Structure 1
Amino acid sequence: MSAPPAPPRILIPHAPALVVSLRGAVLLDTDGEFHPLSLAAAAKRAKDECPMLCHAPAVASRLGIEPFICLDLLELFAFVRPARFCLPTPKGLAEAMGLARPHDAEDEAEALIRVARTLLQELAERTSGDTAARASDTRSTAWAMARAGWGWGNPVLAALGVSGDGGRGSGLRVWERLPEWSEHAPEPAAGTIPVEPSEARQRLDRLLGSDSEQRPAQADYASAAAAAFQPRDQAGEPRLVLAEAGTGTGKTLGYIAPASVWAEKNGAPVWISTYTRNLQRQLDGELDRLFPDPGTKARKVVVRKGRENYLCLLNLEEQVARNRAQEAVASGLMARWALATRDGDMVGGDFPAWLGDLLGRVRTLGLADRRGECIFSACPHYTRCFIERAIRRARRADIVIANHALVMIQAAMGGLDDGAAPTRYVFDEGHHVFDAADGAFSAHLSGLEGIEVRRWLLGAEDGGTGTGARSRARGLKRRAEDLLGLAEEAPAALDAALAAAHALPATGWQNRLQDGAPINAAERFLALVRQQVYARTQGADSPYSLETECAPAIDGLAEAAAELAHCLGKLGAPLQTLARVLGKSLDDDAAELDSATRSRIEGLTRSIERRALLPLSGWKAMLEELLEGRKAEQYVDWFSVERFDGRDFDVGMHRHWIDPTIPFAKTVAEPAHGLLITSATLRDGESDLGWAVAERRSGAIHLPSPPTRAAMASPFDYPAQTRVLVVSDVRKDDLNQVAAAYRELFIAAGGGGLGLFTAISRLKAVHARIAGPLDEAGLPLLAQHIDNLDTATLVDIFRAEEESCLLGTDAVRDGVDVPGRSLRLIVFDRVPWPRPDILHKHRRAAFGGKSYDDMIARLRLKQAFGRLVRRAGDHGVFVLLDPMMPSRLHSAFPPGVDVRKVGLAEAVAETQAFLQGQDGRSPADSPAG
């Protein structure tokens, strides 16, 4: 037995505290003296002195050096407060710990010391009050991490009262202590009792509470949404409601009201789908109103994502078992999180996104089942598996929060994980249905896609590179071998499939393609695709991706396509046999099969279909049509070389639907009984033509019955609360002028500026020119693709710090909710025209030519403008740095909002005056007031 713990001691590391900005740094040494430093001087001291800091990758990036040995307070925070979020900044840490918010760099350096002390004290106090088992887990996890050299190891062990080997134990083996889920009887079919508009209004009143402000438009919206929860009269003819609700209407609670009533009355879940995982998190928070008790909410609300979002306990066990010192810290913090997490969701759930930046994505997010290698009930952790628990909870929930990609991909593949499909959907952010369907129903015969299928079939391969030994990849043989005896044909079919899989791209294929040395059928085809792209594309030395039409093919390409099509057939046939005979065994051996084995067979056959047969059949069809020289009218095919920073990373042939809402309507909408597709930006204008756009981009035109239309105007006074300015004297192709405009506008607004860009290269060029001047003005600058922080974290910091500015692209433009003064200025670098690629060229021809371009640009401007005013007291300025903005795009903005063309000097002056309340309003009415 280990010795009892000693009294806790608070041991602050004898290390300086370092805070780094864009232009300089402050170091607080161990004698309490502050040292203002240049970035170069700070970089030298950082490498020499192992400082205490916040977010080491971001600090290293600002210092322009490689990661260095340090004491990152975020690691200590993640250990003490697992599954809890804080902003990954000194200010964010201080606020999370309830300490005074620091005002300058010296304050921030002092705050780091105070945060360390507070966290260690909290750890000591909390552990002393824990159960013996939980305290033992904490101590043994800390001991394993300290033994591997964790910088916080000794202070943490001291706070826990651990000395010597007193903490030795099995704390990292968290899978042994997670609760098991249990099976339940199958759920009955969903009922068909309708939701009346009056019931939706009553539920909305309950959600809002008796003291809330009455919003007639929100109640009208809830009534309209109830139409999606009426019984359908004909199979294949769902009750479809298209509802546009202007910003501020309160559409989230407006659709939760009828959805929750329907779920209660009919004993089945409503699936609410959003566009992004971060929006899932926001929606989950809104449901606290419906289920304020956490225990009740845990039963009634489930967040569902793809398997690649959840921690795989088998992957974690294998990482722990390797017992490598460089992985022990990550394993320890992942173990702490696994015991505290609500549902094991690592993307948009309670896993702090910055933890992946700190520990490495391979050791954190890489522990998810990202390659479809699940072995289902053969896994020793199956009954504790996070994803299996979520699947079972979703069957009995009232509300399932999903995302468009999951809903559509699962529908494309013939059902959800358990073969069930919901009958009622709400698609929030419905203006993204077209784009989500475009991704879900496309096919890509490329090197990266091919090697993923090969890896799924064959598992880890060394390939002469030595990488196989480090891979966790489990091939089909390992997943299926103990089931093969259930069907006489299965072993031979598996052997034939694995032999045929060697025709797919192998490790090192990119280098061989560039060297002209392909080794199999797939690589020979891809090598010729690459040759054709480079031969036919203008500007082949461009840093951007390249593409060209498939026909006419260069010499040898047709023969290579025929060879590959033949090889794919040889691979698909035995896989079809394997799936068929395994499925047949469910009937033939029904009396002998236990439930776990049945579950494995069902899971394996679904995986074979989804991970291999579905892409293989799509690829084979593409190749055969290429050989026959016929062009499928519904599709667009092309060849591409995908590039990043001027280097090739993928080569392939692509197929997209010209109208991807056709398969969406067929596979998602028609089988459903009712759908609500809603957004603040469904229509392109308010006329019938605007509704026609909404119906086309939602797939409503492909359904037998017309949709119910509903539109609620925003309650905001946009003419009074906003200004829209088009700057007429900045050349958008002169990045010095563009950068100067961003700089002066951000400074005029005093921060709170969101800079939107149509190209990453333009964003980076502007950032390089304005980061220093903004820092000198006291305005922190955040940027996608530059800061070593994920987009969600950047937005969280931007939301919390009113003086900060943020540069971003599409991911920031769409669906970001930043109310209040934190976002008071939007600057767009140019009109967001669609990219004139091959796919767009075909869609443009099919959907109206130039008017299609205008429609896309207007909807993008409309969506961006919608970020500016999120609540009644918000005010903001929208600036477009494009003198070529045509007046026909002005309808992107709300009625009554005057779009004015001005010079940059006037735009700067008006921005400053409007945001300071100098345009006729009293200071109390201004945002600052």
Structure 2
Amino acid sequence: MLPYPALHASHGGIWIATADGTRRVGRGEAIRIAADTPVLLLNAPLVGQRLGYAELSGLDLLELYAFLHPARFAVPTPAGLARAVDLSPSERDEDVASFLLEAAAALLAVPAGHWPEREGAWAAVQALGRLRWPWAPVVAPHISRPRSDERWLFSKLPEWEEAAPRPAPRPVEIAPGEAEARLALLTGGAAEERPGQRAYAAAAAAAFAPRAIREAPNMVLAEAGTGIGKTLGYLAPASLWSERAGGAVWISTYTKALQRQLAAETARLYPDPVLRRERVVTRKGRENYLCLLNLEDALQGGFGGRAAVLAQLVARWAAFTADGDMVGGDLPGWLPTLFRRNGPAALTDRRGECVYAGCPHYRKCFIERAARASAEADIVIANHALVMVNAARGRETATRPTRYVFDEGHHLFDAADAMFGVALTGGETIELRRWVLGPEAGGRGRRRGLAARLSDVASYDEGGARAIADAVAAAQALASEGWLGRLGEGAPFGPIETLLAAVRGLTYARAEQPGDAGYGLETELAEPTPALIEAAAPAAHALDALLRPLHALGRRLEAVLAEAPDWLDGAARARVEGAIASLGWRAETVAAWLALLARIGGPADPEVVDWMAVDRAEGREYDVGLHRRWLDPTRPFAEVVLKPAHGVLVTSATLTGGGDWDVAEARTGAPHLARAPARFEAASPFDYPSQAEVLIVTDVKRGDAAALANAYARLIVAAGGGTLGLFTAIRRLRAVHGRIADRLAQEGLPLHAQHVDPIDTGTLVDIFRDDPTASLLGTDALRDGVDVPGRSLRLVVMEGVPWPKPTVLHAARRLAGGGSAYDDRIVRARLAQAFGRLIRRADDSGAFVLLSAAMPSRLLPAFPSGVPVARVTLDEAVARVAARLSSGARIGHGESLPVPTENR
């Protein structure tokens, strides 16, 4: 047994375990012991938060697990770790500290047995020892020096190979009945007959028919309730078409959770894992993948302190990862959170500074490997943002897909809104400055500015070199380090900061209200003041001075490609093409900023919404600027994505948001196409009237934090945990969590919370799913895309009606979309999504509680037809939740509220 005490802190108490036994201690004693003695613990940031000691450090078992088993996931809880190391989990909170001692001993015994991740461990622990990683002196004696030289990461990773361009897909037809036959093969002969799934597969096949009219894809809108089996329903015709046509089908999702689920479902198509890796590829934006050049820089001294330790652990993971995906892949989501804000973002390419073939690791790059693999794949699992980025910026035009499946299609509007929006803010301009200039005086890291990335190409072309110099000079006018402080002091520097100062002043003058709570401020970009108009002209001149050399450099690089000098081999060509694409993206951004500035003092564009904003968090400003969004963002989405496609299937369980197909079409871009889409609808096979009920609590006063917290606590206790609590404001979530966490702990009911616990959202859901007694509080991110079937989620509680936030953008869309009817459509969709978390399987049973007496009856069609809906007091709601969930019985009490027929 290790000669260190183990520390465990929860909302139920604090315990210290040693070889002599376990004792309960107070917060002060625990902090003193942790400060004086190395302690074993599990998830140091979380334990530190519960102790109120943010600087807590020690021997974190999660770090040891990540070192020993890189690319293996474990739920970061005592029970999850127990399963990972094959120990019996602790039954009581007070036994966890002693369990940590056992778990540490079990982990340290790993190197003595069969250890698949042995390669590279000895060198890594030596490097970690030099970084004073607390585990290094403990682990090092257990790892013997290898007899021969080990392959280090950068020599171990395989290289991708170039392949001939894939021929264009052949026009093929899926005959009636073929999609259903393929579905039967995927589900297996013994599977339960699902008529809805068969009908769905047949309807989805229409999206794969040959296109008859240019810019008029075969579009199918398909709403299929939870339990229909949408995934296999569209994989059946998609796989048939891909096999026969020789093309790739891109399946796009909104959430990373669904991407993981889809990847798992494709095992039905390709049971052989080797073949599956060839035929199915998951794609994400490049900012999700580990950048090997950034990692090399970190390992060679670019990182210091705890960030350097993270880099070493990520290097261990990189040697064993399947695809290099740091966000939602096989890197445990909890690992970066152990290091707080130190380093994770710097290990990916978030600034578009890739040098492509100029990188020494280009042939092993995870991003390039994924791009090439997707060109040869049958099924590409992507996300809405990546699909739109690739289409809008002309990326991978040679392998552009002709068939799309948009799952979670109700989010297409939001994804397009974000993709095609424009933000001329301090944060965006300083990001562009760094992209052009690289590290400035006193900055750390490798020079990755425009000149450094293209210096050798520029030396070949005099015009290109001049354009780079002009761009570097013009970028000096952009916002620079310390700009927020200068704005606050009234001393902006340069034309862009002067513009931002004018925006900030006018926003505060027009938007701030009495009793301001410190949240963001915004106001319409209308009736600008003379100061703002005067600031806009020099800012536009400065941006134009930057745009011209960016355009010129792009043209010079295109000329280099056309001239094809001797040194322009395949790798150099790829590098120049990458630089052209990156320049095009930045130039488009600057051009959009100029168009936005032209609005100041000029005519308004009825197609867009413009406003000014000061972004704040808890009273602290973090950005200032001008914003533009399309009134209807599906218009550009239809132009760049839908019209070039041959077939598109858009599907969701809540596509119509309550039965309005016209709204579904409007929010997916269908009205902008020459051909009307086909519609398909299949109701969920679940018996909602007996499996669930909706309770609207009438006696919890709005704005009373104590009453709201009491309601949550009583309902969670009545359900015995298994509760997903949804909030419309982070402030109220934190207030409720602070009041009830200790109270629930005394009942043996763990409580986790987004925006409170220092854990990423995906891991919080994993923890929640893993423990039927746990409950989870969260906001919008947990309202949709969370799949927790079974007893782990049996109660959903919403703090109130999820009305849309009254922003400038929302007000404009509300005016154009029918006023209050527009609000109602949004709320019905949100309620439908929230209710959809509750019943995921035929044997699920649960209750949905809305803590709002102001819930209008006209919104009730958001819930499945026939579900009992009752307005009750909190006491009644608690009793009914306890009766339903304690026994798991499927019952419906009391009278249901009628659903207005005009809203059905």
Match of 2:88 among 89, 100, 109: 100
Q: Contact 2:610/2:627 (CA < 8 Å) preserved in 1?
A: yes
Is 2:451 aligned against 1:477? yes
Q: Choose the corresponding residue for 1:907, options 843, 868, 877.
A: 877
Q: CA deviation at 1:591?
A: 6.3
Give yes or no for the alignment of 1:535 onto 2:509: yes
Distance in 2 between residues matched to 1:720 and 1:589, nearest whole Å: 71
Q: Is the CA contact (8 Å cut-off) linking 2:295 and 2:347 kept in structure 1?
A: yes
Please say if residues 562 and 627 of structure 1, whose CA atoms lie closer than 8 Å, have aligned partners that are also in contact.
no
1:595: which partner in 2?
Answer: 570
Q: Look up the match of 1:151.
A: 134
CA distance in 1 between counterparts of 2:438 and 2:745 reads 50
Q: Is 1:340 the equivalent of 2:320?
A: yes
- Match runs of 1:545-556 below 5 Å: 545-556=520-531
Rounded to whole Å, the distance in 2 between the matches of 1:806 and 1:682 is 26
Give, in angstroms, the shift of residue 569 of structure 1.
Answer: 0.8
Report the CA distance shift for 1:915/1:376 in structure 2 as closer, same or farther (over 3 A): same
- Provide the residue aligned with 1:288 in structure 2: 267
Residue 724 of structure 2 contacts residue 796 of structure 2 at CA under 8 Å; is this kept in 1? yes
Q: CA–CA distance in 2 between the matches of 1:260 and 1:239?
A: 17
DSSP-derived class of the 2:473 partner: helix
Q: In 1, distance between residues paired with 2:415 and 2:360?
A: 35
Q: Is residue 455–residue 473 contact of structure 1 (8 Å, CA) maintained in 2?
A: no
Distance 1:186 1:703 in 2: 30
Residue 454 of structure 1: aligned partner: 433
**1:69 matches 2:57:** yes
Deviation at 1:438, TM superposition (A): 0.4
Q: Deviations over 1:531-578 (max 9, x none)?
A: 000011132743110001112112321111111111111110111011
How many angstroms does 1:294 deviate by? 1.4
Name the aligned partner's letter for residue 74 of structure 2.
C
In the other structure, the counterpart of 2:897 is none
**Aligned mate of 1:309, from 288, 304, 329:** 288
- Mapping of 1:417-436 within 5 angstroms? 420-436=399-415
Give the stretch that moved more between structures: 66-75 or 310-319: 66-75
User: Is 1:640 matched with 2:613?
Assistant: yes
The amino acid that maps onto 1:217 is: G
Alpha-carbon spacing, 1:476–1:920, altered in 2? closer, same or farther (3 Å): closer
CA displacement at 1:136 relative to structure 2: 5.6
Tell me which moved more, 390-399 or 110-119: 110-119
Deviation at 1:330, TM superposition (A): 1.9
Match for residue 475 of structure 2 among 484, 501, 504: 501
- Counterpart Cα distance in 2 of 1:294 and 1:309: 23
1:554-593 → structure 2 map (5 Å cutoff): 554-589=529-564, 593=568
State the alpha-carbon separation in 2 of the partners of residues 682 and 590 from structure 1.
Answer: 53
What TM-score do you get using the length of structure 2 for normalisation?
0.96
Aligned to 1:28: 17
Give matches, 1:655-804, under 5 Å. 655-686=628-659, 690-804=660-774
Q: Which amino acid aligns with 2:801?
A: V
Deviation track 1:180-234 (CA, whole Å, cap 9, x = no partner) reads 1111111111122122342211221111112211111111111111111001101
1:920 CA drift (Å): 7.7
Any idea what SS the aligned residue of 1:19 has? strand
Per the TM alignment, residue 326 of structure 1 is displaced from its structure 2 partner at its CA by 4.3
Shift of 1:85: 0.6
Determine the C-alpha separation between the residues in 1 that align with 2:56 and 2:758. Answer: 15
In structure 2, runs of 5+ residues without a counterpart are 893-904
Q: Distance in 1 between matches of 2:315 and 2:850?
A: 48
How far 1:472 sits from its partner (Å)? Answer: 4.4
SS in 2 for 1:126: coil
Letter of the structure 1 residue corresponding to residue 313 of structure 2? L
Q: How far 1:360 moved relative to its partner? A: 4.2
Question: Partner residue of 2:596?
Answer: 622
Change (3 A) 1:799 1:377: same
Read off the aligned partner of 1:517 and give its amino acid letter.
A
Distance in structure 1 (CA, Å) of the matches to 2:206 and 2:26: 63
Partner Cα distance (2:204, 2:471) in 1: 49
Deviation at 1:363, TM superposition (A): 2.6
Q: How does 1:878-917 map to 2 (within 5 A)?
A: 878-917=848-887
Change (3 A) 1:538 1:672: same
> Counterpart in 2 of 1:398?
378
The CA deviation at 1:38 is 2.6
Q: Which residue of 2 aligns with 1:873?
A: 843
Residue in structure 1 matched with residue 816 of structure 2 by the alignment: 846
Show the 5 A alignment for 1:174-193.
174-193=153-172
1:860 to 830, 833, 842: 830
Conservation of the 8 A alpha-carbon contact between 2:658 and 2:829: no
For 1:314, what is the secondary structure of its paired residue? helix
**DSSP-derived class of the 2:19 partner:** coil
Structure 2 CA distance for aligned equivalents of residues 27 and 243 of structure 1 = 56
8 Å CA contact 1:454–1:502 kept in 2: the answer is yes
- In the other structure, the counterpart of 2:3 is 14
How many Å separate the matches in 2 of 1:743 and 1:309? 38
AA at the equivalent of 1:309: N
Cα offset for 1:870? 0.2
State how far apart, in whole Å, the 1-side matches of 2:669 and 2:881 are.
Answer: 41
Q: Contact 1:456 / 1:473 at 8 angstroms: preserved in 2?
A: no
Match of 2:221 in 1: 242
**Identity across matched positions, percent:** 51
Q: CA deviation at 1:122?
A: 2.1
Task: Identify if the C-alpha distance between structure 1 residues 257 and 768 changes in structure 2 by more than 3 Å, giving closer, same or farther.
Answer: same
Distance 2:162 2:401 in 1: 20
Instruction: Report if aligned partners of 2:76, 2:334 keep a CA contact under 8 Å in 1.
Output: yes
Q: What is the TM-score normalised by the length of structure 1?
A: 0.94
Cα deviation per residue 1:453-499 (whole Å; 9 max; x = unaligned)? 1110110113xxx4x12x44610111111111343311111111110
Task: Return the alpha-carbon distance in structure 2 between the equivalents of residues 808 and 135 of structure 1.
Answer: 39
Following superposition, the deviation at residue 834 of structure 1 comes to 0.6
Query: What is the Cα deviation at residue 142 of structure 1?
Result: 1.4
Shift of 1:365: 3.8
- CA distance in structure 2 between the partners assigned to 1:888 and 1:321 by the alignment: 62
Q: Note the C-alpha offset of 1:169.
A: 7.6
Where structure 1 has 5 or more consecutive residues not aligned to the other structure, the ranges are 1-11, 923-929
Tell me which residue corresponds to 2:97: 109
Task: Report the 3-state secondary structure (helix = DSSP H, G, I; strand = E; otherwise coil) of the residue aligned with 2:206.
Answer: helix
**Shift of residue 414 of structure 1?**
2.4
Q: Is the partner of 1:244 in helix, strand or coil?
A: strand
Alignment coverage as a number of residue pairs:
890
Shift in alpha-carbon separation, 1:634–1:211, aligned structure 2, 3 A: same
Letter in 2 for 1:532: L
Match for 2:299: what amino acid?
V
**8 Å Cα contact 1:144/1:328 also seen in 2:** no
Q: Which residue in 1 is equivalent to 2:329? A: 349
CA contact (8 A) 1:140 1:169 kept: no
- 1:170 positional shift: 7.7
- Counterpart position of 1:377: 357
Whole-Å Cα distance in 1 between the matches of residues 543 and 580 of structure 2?
Answer: 19
How far residue 865 of structure 1 moved from its aligned partner, in angstroms, is 0.2
Q: CA-atom RMSD, angstroms? A: 1.8
The 1-side partners of 2:341 and 2:743 are apart by: 33
Q: Given the alignment, which residue of 130, 143, 149 partners 1:160?
A: 143
Q: What is the distance in 1 between the residues matched to 2:567 and 2:93?
A: 70
How far the C-alpha of 1:640 sits from its partner, in A, is: 0.2
Aligned counterpart in structure 2 of residue 412 of structure 1, from 379, 392, 401? 392
Following superposition of structure 1 onto structure 2, how do residues 508-527 of structure 1 map, counting pairs within 5 Å? 508-527=482-501
1:59-93 C-alpha deviation (Å, 9 max, x unpaired): 11111102323111111111111101111111110
Partner of 1:831: 801
Read off the aligned partner of 1:210 and give its amino acid letter.
G
CA gap 1:918/1:568 in 2 versus in 1, 3 angstroms:
closer
Moved more, 235-244 or 545-554: 545-554
Partner secondary structure for residue 694 of structure 2? strand
Deviation of 1:15 after TM superposition, in Å, equals 0.7
1:3 aligns with none
